[in-house]
Amino acid sequence: MSASDLFLADCPARTTLALVGDTWSVVVIMALGEGPRRYGEVLERIGGISKKMLTQTLRRLERNGLVDRDGADYRLTALGSSLLDVVGALARWAEEHTDALVDAQAAA
């Protein structure tokens, strides 16, 4: 079914998955999904992120072509926007199922 098999070790899709496999990428993408933002705006929008991690996350997203940068102005690229939908679904799931997750943890 899949052209490239996610279950293969050398599959590039694995690398791609790793892109969102960290604490902040998803949240930063969501933040920029609201529109172009300046560094300081993103920093304020996202509670708890440090300047270090914000810079680091933005640089990686930029390096992977998901974010476009002009000085301190950041915005999603077309590629980044296409990820926004997927990531949005993930965030929505997270928000909707938080109770169930918390319950499960408590029961364990």
Partner DNA sequence: CAGTATCCTATCGGATACTG
Partner DNA sequence: CAGTATCCGATAGGATACTG
Residue ranges that bind DNA, judged by CB under 7 A: 21-24, 38-41, 43, 48-53, 55-56, 72
Q: What is the largest CA-CA distance in the chain?
A: 49
| Among positions 39, 43, 62, 81, the unique one binding a copy of itself when judged by CB under 8 A | 62
Q: Does 72 bind a copy of itself (CB under 8 A)?
A: no
Residue 61: CB minimum distance to DNA, A: 12
Helices (H) and strands (E) in the chain, counts: 6, 3
Rank residues 71 and 95 by Cβ distance to a copy of itself and give the closer one: 95
Angle between helices 51-63 and 25-33 (to 10 degrees): 80
Q: 36 touches which of DNA, a copy of itself, none (CB within 5 to 8 A by kind)? A: none
